[in-house]
Chains A and B, each alone.
Chain A
Amino acid sequence: MRAWIERQRCLIDFSVANLGRRKARNLGLLGAYILLVFLLASVVLYGDALRREARLLLADAPDIVVQRLSAGRHDLIAADRLDALRALRGVRRADGRLWGYHYDPTLAANTTLQVPLVNPPGPGETVLGATLARARGLNPGDTLALRGDDGAIRAFRITGLLSSASELVSADLMLVNEADYRAFFGIPAGFYTDLALTVGNPAEAGKIAEKILTRQPGSRVILKDEMRRTYDAVFNWRQGLLLTFLGTVLAAFALLAWDKASGLSAEERREIGILKAIGWETGDVMRMKFWEGALLSTCAFLAGYVLAYLHVFHGGGALFEPILKGWSVLYPKFTLTPQIDLMQLASLFFLSVLPYTAATLAPVWRAATLDPDEVMRE
């Protein structure tokens, strides 16, 4: 065993010396390789973390949301439908929700006005999301004046801010009471934006949704499971924009591996010929080249993955922020919950290390099986 270890160490010594002979080329290759693994791992970690965050934060979302459609568009829903919904077997609770958008010309951004069911602000008062307050430079005690649906300016005194720890769900929220909301948007009593249902047994939600559609045609019914699936789809790294990004990285990686697999330089072939001529066996040459590829790719994997982790969970995914932010003015400040899936780690390892190592071996095997004399004469 000790002899085997010493033999491998000697091969590694030789491989390191070999890599050192073409220092600039190999350092450049290592840098590009680290960058590729970093981007690949960042996309996967970021997509997964956002999906998990959405699942965690929206775990207590309403079981069913019922909207009314009018001419194919979301419209206000009459409050009298609530009684019919409460009468359905399996429905434990039904509430009317009041929420809507207001375009704030000062910020050039949409804010979401909402009426909380419990502890609503007093008349003429509001509670703001931390991002909105920061963007507007407002603090508790200040007054926020907005132009309502009837063109009149309405002033709201800020009585508090929502916790900055909840920015991911409350960035653009402005909470007001029901009377203020209806007066601001000109919505008559007896109408809601949509209805939120809580069911006794979540497994029955689908059946209840079918009943609602039968009894109240023209409704749109959205289940909690569908909300979860929506965010799963948006942040799935196998779909959407993340896939485009990932595709570019994988194409660059394939190019790197292909370049390596397509052949050796004349210098490398001559070197293999000399090694064989002085008594190296084909197996030794292969092992030496294996160590070369494995050293480079494992080193790139370790560095790339650790950097990607730091980027996503400690650097706030700075590279992806401009993509997600888009044109949003009220973009929340948030940190993601770190988590590493070992299967995902293993997949990334095999995806980034094996193809490269295998690609280095193929041309070496072709050269190492030839006669040394023939290789050196080429």
Chain B
Amino acid sequence: MAAALAFAYVTVAAWATPEIKVSFSGRWRGSNRVAWVFGLGLIALLAVLADATRSPDRSAARSLARELQLTDLALFNEARYARHLTQADRHAAFQDHPMALEHFPAGALTVPMSADARLD
């Protein structure tokens, strides 16, 4: 970021100097080309920062979760212990039977609960 800002400063200061203005007819200096690339990059970054300030409406999902007293996201519905992660037994592997390896991909995403994470 610091380097990008330094570039922006160097470029603006250089362009403010009349004798080294960018000429569209002549051959561009390397530093001018760099300034253009970084200028565009910074504009894209600023656009991303501006875009990140919008907040989509989540009221429908929130009120449904409140009404139904929901406790979990419906992301992993492939296994009963992954559908309601917070309500399942501790996310122990081999919970179906001793030799059962974790066979659902969602099981690979979940991590073992820390010792103090639950009261049970």
Contacts and interface: CB of A to CB of B under 8 A. Distances in A.
Interface of A: 1-2, 5-6, 8-10, 12-17, 20, 53-54, 56-62, 65, 67, 69, 72-74, 95, 97, 101, 109-110, 112, 114, 116-118, 129, 131, 162-163, 165-173, 175, 194, 196, 209-210, 213, 220-223, 226-227, 229-231, 233-234, 239-241, 294-295, 298-299, 302-303, 305-306, 309-310, 313, 323-332, 335, 337-340, 345-346, 349, 353, 357
Contacts of B88: 74
Contacts of B54: 338
Interface residues of B, number: 68
Interface in B59-114: 60-62, 64-80, 83, 85-89, 104-106, 108-111, 113-114
A165 B86 contact: no
Contacts of A329: 77-78
A231 B111 contact: no
B68 A349 contact: no
B49 interface: yes
Interface of B: 1, 3-4, 7, 10, 13-14, 17, 20, 29-31, 33-34, 37-38, 41-42, 44-45, 48-49, 51-52, 54-58, 60-62, 64-80, 83, 85-89, 104-106, 108-111, 113-114, 117-120
B87 A298 contact: no
A323 B109 contact: yes
Contact of A61 (B70, B85, B117): B70
Contacts of A17: 30
B74 A170 contact: yes
